[in-house]
Amino acid sequence: MPIASQKKKVVKKKVAPKKITPKKEEELKGGFYAHCGEKASEYGRLGGIKSGEVRRKNREMKNVLMQILNADIPDHLISILEKQYGKDTVKELNILQAMFMAQVNKAIVEADTGAFKELMDRSSGKPQQTIDHEVSAGVTIHIDSESSKL
């Protein structure tokens, strides 16, 4: 048993300092953030270019889809729709209108709540979500939707 007066010797290892490469030394001379502005602006520029490409592609796809949806109903579907909605109604419809009629039919006839919800979201907009938060410390938080200040 060791005596209380005897202390265990702690031996610390000596660690050789890390060698600094010339590249690292140059970075340290300019400070940690010396090149960040250049890199950030380059990344921002590249991101802006990519974002523009994606926006153009999405706009083109949307335009093509709208042309398809505004087209007349194909002949092979007219006979099916005429049985459900009548000849006079189907003659005046485009594809988009026929799709909405099918959705309305599904909501009413099949009592499909998903179809009903989608129709309501399209016609009246999605319901606004509200957050009620109560703090027990007697602090009132008021969030004004017109400004970002609390």
**Does residue 121 share a domain with residue 78?**
yes
Q: To which residue do tokens 């949307």 refer? A: 62
pLDDT, tens digit, for every residue of 1-59?
555 556 666 666 676 677 777 777 766 666 555 556 677 778 788 888 999 999 999 99
**CB 101, CB 85: distance < 8 Å:** yes
pLDDT at 149 over 50: no
The pTM for the full model equals: 0.47
Looking at the domain assignment, is residue 58 inside a domain? yes
pLDDT, tens digit, for every residue of 108-144?
989 999 989 988 888 887 777 766 666 566 666 666 5
Helix, strand, coil percent content, the chain, rounded in steps of 5: 55, 0, 40
Residue 23, both tokens: 């590249």
pLDDT, tens digit, for every residue of 44-79?
888 889 999 999 999 999 999 999 989 988 888 888
Of 64, 50, 132, whose CA–CA distance to 141 is shortest? 132
Residue 122, both tokens: 């399209």
Domain that holds residue 84: 72-126
Looking at the domain assignment, is residue 21 inside a domain? no
